[in-house]
Structure 1
Amino acid sequence: MGTIDVNGSNVAVILVVDQSAGDVRLLEEAFADGSVANAVYAVSDSPEALAFLRQEGDYEDAPSPDLVLLDLGLPSRDGGGLLAELKTDPELRPTPVIVLTGSDAEEDILRSYDLNANAYIRKPVEPEDFLTIARAIEDFWLALVELPPDGE
């Protein structure tokens, strides 16, 4: 989908949508230690995420992500509302969205899957556990799964 060429190598593009700068930093560090080349981009709210995904405004040159990691606790519009919009937009629907959030509430899990999230992962409490999650995401979503090509 959004793999980009960086110095002659294909790089998986990951968009993190999360208002927590600390969690974003932990994810960036965890993916930097991975075995699949990747580029992590981060935005902190729904309007910014939509601009990035639609390549509008400041993001007109943004790459199309291979994967979106979405927190439900976003300012102005919750992650569930953003997920609903992504999964009803024909251009954005094919992009896999993993809900990565602190909630373990059954209603959040059910709502996310009802809105066609591709997976739901509870954010870890311990910083070192972000590495475990990043590796699992990398091993499955970036190394094993066939992602849709651009324009599909």
Structure 2
Amino acid sequence: MIDILLVDDSEADVMLTQMAFEEARVANRLHVARDGVEALEFLNREGPHHDAPTPDVILLDLNMPRMNGLEVLAEIKKEDSLRNIPVIVLTTSQAEADVWRSYNLHANAYIPKPVSLPNFLDVVRSFENFWLAVVKLSPKNYNPNAHSES
């Protein structure tokens, strides 16, 4: 079981993502932050998120109020405690500038959101197959200072 943080302000996209994960039978706990400010509160365990788990993967929309996805990505990647969490940009934007900026800020992948449910299900299945079955995710509580390589 993995923890996924979905950062998206669109109720319709959140519901579609939840349906897609249920349909694809991805073994996960899907947590939702409705904008970038709430995402950082979740990640830093602030306010109502004081007992939030550290997510294994973050699905990040770019176009959000208060703090957009690129600003959130920049904050995540500059924090030692967060930078190893894979961030997959999942957004409707296909603008080359957004793709370039996302990778320049060290996004781990950039996936344009499909508009149809069947295509969205395909994306979630691909996400599941790659990120949850093939990739070895960073351990959550690993302390490199407590371990020595031989």
Question: Taking structure 2 as the reference length, what is the TM-score of the superposition?
Answer: 0.91
Q: Distance in 1 between matches of 2:21 and 2:3?
A: 11
Residue 140 (structure 1) aligned to one of 130, 145, 149: 130
Q: Out of 93, 106, 115, which is 2:96 matched to? A: 106
Runs of 4+ in structure 1 deviating by more than 2 angstroms, as ranges, are: 33-36
Q: Hey, what's the Cα distance between the residues in 1 that align with 2:24 and 2:139?
A: 23
5+ residue gaps in structure 2? 143-150
RMSD: 1.0
Q: How does 1:62-101 map to 2 (within 5 A)?
A: 62-101=52-91
Unaligned runs of 5+ in 1: 1-10
The secondary structure found in structure 2 opposite 1:124 is coil
Aligned residues: 142
Match of 1:47 in 2: 37
Structure of higher CA gyration radius? 2
Structure 1 residue 116 and structure 2 residue 118: aligned? no
CA distance in 2, matches of 1:24, 1:62: 19
Structure whose residues are more often helix by fraction: 2
**Does structure 2 conserve the Cα–Cα contact (< 8 Å) formed by 1:97 and 1:118?**
yes
Considering Cα pairs closer than 8 Å and 6+ residues apart, tell me whether 1 or 2 has the greater RCO. Answer: 1
Assess if the C-alpha contact under 8 Å between 1:18 and 1:42 holds in 2. Answer: yes
Q: Report the TM-score when normalising by structure 1.
A: 0.90
Tell me what 1:14 maps to: 4
Give the C-alpha shift of residue 35 in structure 1: 4.2
Alpha-carbon distance in structure 2 between the residues aligned to 1:123 and 1:108:
14
SS at match of 1:112: helix
CA–CA distance in structure 1, aligned partners of residues 60 and 87 of structure 2: 7
